[in-house]
Amino acid sequence: MDCLFCKIVEGTIPSNKVLENDHVIVFHDIQPAAPTHVLVIPKKHIASMNEVTAEDLPLIGEIHLAAQEAAKRLGVEETGYRLINNCGKDGEQTVHHLHYHLLGGTRLGVLTSLSDSHK
């Protein structure tokens, strides 16, 4: 399989890890969009959120707990952070391995609604 994140899981591509357990790995994004920007991924290859099955629900819970622990370790638990999943073309998913971006370390701003001219 020619998946960038699978290669990180295998260790064939290096990463700056924040934490790792049997099912999840958290590492720093190489193109950070915030002072704190890490990726939280399952070690199991799942192409996108659309590929998650009921069987994967415990793993999704582990991903969220790993994100919570990473936020603590990175010092953004108290000040706040954003956990984002990009899915598919319109969601700007660029790596087809399920992952979440954990962003923090600065005020991220509110999500705004589209004006009528954009609908």
Condensed to tens digits (0 to 9), the pLDDT of residues 40-98 reads 999 999 999 999 999 999 999 999 999 999 999 999 999 999 999 999 999 999 999 99
d(CA 19, CA 42): 12
CATH (domain of 44): 3.30.428.10
**Nearest Cα to 24, choosing from 48, 37, 5?**
5
C-alpha distances out from residue 47 to 3, 26, 50, Å: 9, 17, 8
In a domain, 34, yes or no: yes
- Per-residue model confidence (pLDDT) at position 114: 75
**Total structural domains in the chain?**
1
84 lies in some domain:
yes
Within a domain: 115: no
Give domain status of residue 22, yes or no.
yes
pTM over 0.85: yes
Q: Is 113 part of any domain?
A: no
| Residue of 28, 99, 101, 118 with catalytic role | 99
99 is catalytic: yes
Range of the domain at 72: 4-107
